[in-house]
Structure 1
Amino acid sequence: MSIPPPPGPHRPEDPYQPPQPPNPYPQDPFAPPQRPYAQDPYAQDPYAQDPYAQDPYARGAYGPPGYQSPAGPQGPYPQAPYGAAPYPVWGQGYSPYGRLPAINGLAVAALVLGILCFLPAVGLVLGIIALAQIRKRGERGKGMAVAGSILSSVGLALWVLALATGGAADFWQGFKEGAGARSGFSLAKGDCFDMPGETFDGDVYDVDEVACAGEHDAEVFATVPLSGRSFPGDDRVTQVADDKCHRLRDAYAMDPWALTDKADVYYLTPTSESWNLGDREITCVFGPVDDTGTLTGSLREDETTLDADQLTFLKAMAAVDEVLYQEPEDSAEGASAADLTWAGSARDVTGAQAVALGAHTWSATSRGPVAALVKDMRTESEEWAAAAKATDADGFYEHYETAYGYVDGRSTVTAREALGLATTPPLYDDGSDSGGGGTGGGDSESGLDV
């Protein structure tokens, strides 16, 4: 009697396969049923062809995600067997697809330096470093790094060639010469320069600044700004220059004895054309009296170049000279009231400056000569006082000439020598070398347009 096989599909055991060990884990009751013919290459799997695989509603082929057919979530046909997903599910959130990698910054710098041919060695090094970083980081900019390296290499080669042939020295010399050329209205106090032409006549558009220690055509001693929006006119500009430049000259060159007769006062003035370009100042300069001559060394003697003793002495002498310059014109009556008043002013200023010089503490070398000068200044003050009291012309001029005998006299020269100042008295309008201090150099002014 034989035992019938259990219901359901059955396949004979393959005698050539080794026995299968029992499954130690119980079957999941919720797992889908096993297909008995899935591993049999000869048997036809009845589930291999899914009759519902082409159901458009079962796989959600129509409508947006979550769309349900009228027949229900599964459509009119059952879902594909074994829990197969109807369509792939994409992850939620931001997707980085399509974003380009960053550009390497050193590659950009290498390209810029290569194009400008500036610091070619630096541009070449940056290009090489940029290529290494791009390979390592996956950044963009390889083309820029390569181009910058090539251009920097070419620039470096040109620099080496220029240094070898002397071209760089010529370029630097030309650059310095170009930088030294300055506009006439951009000069500053204390600058020395050469004129583009042979004389000071005509318009001046630019000058060449040079060192004041050597030979030069002119030296700036002051600048006078002009106000107003419109050009005031050539006559008005010239009038302002005549007045201001004379006053400012004495503040720059405090020692009139140091101004030789070869130096004169000039000024550069704006024109109507340069005014519209921003030229709004007068430039006061020392220049040679002779158009073909030159100046040597700086004429500057002020607080920036003088010591305390020299400064005290020159201020006292300048105060006396200022009053002496105000001497009235000769009158037909002889000693007029104006002459007497002026003589009284000379008495006062000479006595006051004698007191100021006597109160100053002088160095050992200058103490004695200055004391002798102070004694003469007190005697001079007494003569001016006597002139101020004169009742007739003869009495006035007698004391007048005696007082002037002490002005720039022997004691003044000795004190100057002890102080290290100029010892040659300047020439005055009448050609003499005594009286009143003097102006130093010619007394004519010339104006130049810039």
Structure 2
Amino acid sequence: MRLPEPAPDLRQILERLDPERIQVVFQNTTPLPKGRYLHWDEMRYRDPPPGLSRDEWWATVTISRAALMQNLPLLDKQGLPFRFATPSPVLIDLHHIDRDAAGQIRSTAGEPLREDPNRYLMSSLIEEAITSSQLEGASTTRQIAAAMLRTGRKPADHSERMIFNNYRAMEHLRTLKHEALTPEHILELHRILTTDTLENPEEAGRLRQSDDVHVVDQRDDAIVHVPPDHQELPERLERLCAFANADETSLPFVHPVLRAILLHFMIGYDHPFVDGNGRTARALFYWSMARSGYWLMEYTSISHILRRAPSRYMRAYLHTETDGNDTTYFLLHQLTTIRRAIVALHEYLGRKTQEQKETERMLAASPALRTRFNHRQVALLTHALRNTGEGYRVDAHQRSHNVVYQTARSDLLTLHELGLLEKAKQGNAYVFFAPPDLKDRLAAMAK
């Protein structure tokens, strides 16, 4: 990866300007050149306003941003504070996230979901577990990984173990959302994420013991970031936890969504572990969002969005490091990611709602079947119509809908008795399969 060109030094630019020129240059200033929060590496390829050089243009932008900047209680490797600003694009994104992510989970029509939302949460946890692991090298397919998690099958290889661990970690964090974060919690989270995936098993749940860990671009092996000294990590982790646990009375005030993103940022910057830092960072983001009341985020997958453009994810870090610790670049990247994840959730809900309606219309066509199926069975039949030959186990159905084993077993046996599922034994458990002609069988029953 080509590293971003560092921003020009403001002091050197000003030293080259005489008083009259300074007056001309600073007649108009804006923190948003071309309407965006651009880094110098992007601005240097664009045409400046008439009468200004690119360096002078950058100076006007830097001066106008300085008035918006606030120092954070988070430090870089030199002990200098990271900073952030809240220009209008940040405020607009926060407005949308406040509106869309802190209420009930809703359909695209705006109505609260009437079905048990646990099956949507299950799908989301699976998606985040898979894509977060794929961002760090896991190489199994989504279908195989999802089947492993739904059925409870043991991981068969390193990639599946990464995904299985990520899923367990996301479930574990749900139990901690009302607790203050401690270094011990972060170490335990890392242990869950990396068990049986590291060359040295003793590194799971332990801060790195050396400085030979670097962030490398996997495409060309270029070193893009050198983390802080490993001896500083215990103190830095304590500082990070204090920041994560702060409330609205702390100064400076940091919006809860920005606080969650900055927690994510600092784990990536500090790189406190030999491996699994990205998964740890994204998992802690979810913990922070849940702790602040953004319940809808439990149903989204930010890693699904990040995986589409991993280089932009990395560049958001690099823009911060090459412009005076300005984390606004990373904040804007992640705010956009969150909003896209919410849109993806609503698109998913729209598809599922439509599929549900189509199945319900087919089932409702027959008075004899109208009340035969509960919403869990309708969901399974809907999925089976789109996935011919799919296998369903009682324990997987139980986890998907958060019901007791006996209820899940009754759901599947009833469908089997009606001829809508076929049954076969695999090992010590029965697996139920959707027959290839399921739609025809339903249609025949509906007459």
TM over 0.5: no
Higher helix share: 2
**Higher relative contact order, structure no. (Cα contacts within 8 Å, ≥ 6 residues apart):** 2
Larger radius of gyration: 1
**What is the TM-score normalised by the length of structure 1?**
0.20
